Amino acid sequence: MTQTSPAAASQATRSLREPDLRTPIIQVSDLQKTYQTARGALNLFQGLNLQVEAGEMVALVGQSGAGKSTLLHILGALDAPSAGTVYCASTNVANLSTRQAAAFRNREIGYVWQFHYLLPEFTALENVAMPLLARGTNRREATQVAANWLREVGLDDRSDHRPGELSGGEQQRVALARALVNNPRLLLADEPTGDLDEITAGRVFELIERLHRSHGLTSILVTHNLDLAARCTRALRLEGGRLSPLAARPKAAFIPDDLE
Ligand SMILES: Nc1ncnc2c1ncn2[C@@H]1O[C@H](COP(=O)(O)OP(=O)(O)OP(=O)(O)O)[C@@H](O)[C@H]1O
Ligand SMILES: [Mg+2]
């Protein structure tokens, strides 16, 4: 059995926090995003507002091209708003320098994409340890914390596999472990199950739900799967540059047995 150092144990314990419920963790007001294209200006958001409380798991649905990925990029300081205010994890993300944005992402945001973006020449364990090493954690501790995370996503027996030697579902589990290894407050997931078959997608979604709860995360998940969206605490549709609650689908009529 692997021994965990006191430092690694304390890092694992820190991740088991309760969400901070005092203020909304995301507060977007009057957001505008304009791309300049060869055909002229493309106004993607027209005064978009969004408030997310700590601990929520919000699904974001909408047609292709609606701007779902762009919204996640703005929340994660990967892209800048054209106008409006965007507070994310107590940070005004519009005002960050490139260096501050990188530090903000490293500290506060776990990002998962449809494609795993694991580095092919490194093992699963090395891929998960990478954000800790980038943050200056020593190699021994980084390896122990990464091993704990691989255990948490059910892949301790795949730690020395390279991404090409893992299934699609396993690759996404490793990508989740890597996204969360620095104990961010927010998980931003852009179609994390989009490339997986239905059963594997369901299992990866269950893992996200479990990690969301056990690590006190606030999560935003882009998905085209309305069944998975319905399992989130709230589902929003992005359409015409604005967000609105996703209408619940009418339930099938209930007919008692004795009336059939
Ligand atoms: N850097 C850019 N320059 C110009 N236009 C862009 C840029 N990035 C995105 N767009 C345009 O903005 C629109 C929204 O793109 P985005 O990727 O956010 O959509 P999406 O809702 O995530 O779609 P999908 O479901 O297909 O992933 C698209 O029409 C896209 O062509
Ligand atoms: Mg997208």
**How far does Cα 31 stand from its chain's mean position?**
21
Question: What spacing in Å lies between the alpha carbon of 239 and ligand 2's midpoint?
Answer: 13
Could you tell me where the DSSP H helices lie in the chain? 6-14, 68-75, 98-108, 124-134, 139-152, 168-180, 198-214, 226-230
Kindly state whether residue 4 falls inside one of the protein's structural domains. no
Please work out whether the CB of residue 144 comes within 6 Å of at least one atom of ligand 1: no
pLDDT of residue 136: 92
Best of 31, 63, 64, 69 for a ligand 1 pocket test (most atoms within 8 Å of beta carbon): 69
The CATH number given to whatever domain includes residue 76 is 3.40.50.300
What are 7-21's pLDDT values in tens digits? 444 444 344 555 555
Residue 246, ligand 1, Cβ within 6 A: no
Residue 69 CB–ligand 1 contact under 6 Å: yes
Ligand 1 contact via 131 beta carbon (within 6 Å): no
Ligand 1, atom 27: closest residue by C-alpha: 64
Whose C-alpha lies nearest to ligand 1, atom 5? 35
Which tens digits make up the pLDDT trace of 159-208? 999 999 999 999 999 999 999 999 999 999 999 999 999 999 999 999 99
- 152 in any annotated domain: yes
**Residue 3 belongs to some domain of the structure:** no
- Residue 104 included in any domain: yes
Q: Residue 153 domain-assigned? A: yes
Cα distance between residue 86 and residue 35, in whole Å: 18
pLDDT of residue 14: 43
Which of ligand 1's atoms lies nearest the C-alpha of 79?
1
pLDDT value, residue 46: 87
- Give domain status of residue 9, yes or no: no
Check pocket membership of 64 for ligand 1, CB cut-off 6 A.
Answer: yes
How many domains are there within the chain? 1
| Domain range enclosing 224 | 22-246
For ligand 2, a single-atom ion, the residues with CB < 5 A are: 69
Report whether 104 contacts 96 (CB < 8 A). Answer: yes
Is 253 part of any domain? no
Pocket lining: 207 vs ligand 1, CB cutoff 6 Å: no
Could you say which residues of the chain have pLDDT below 50? 1-15, 250-251, 254-256, 258-260
Ligand 2 centroid – CA 100 distance (Å):
25
Is residue 154 assigned to a domain?
Answer: yes
Q: Are strands 91-92 and 218-222 parallel, antiparallel or unpaired?
A: unpaired
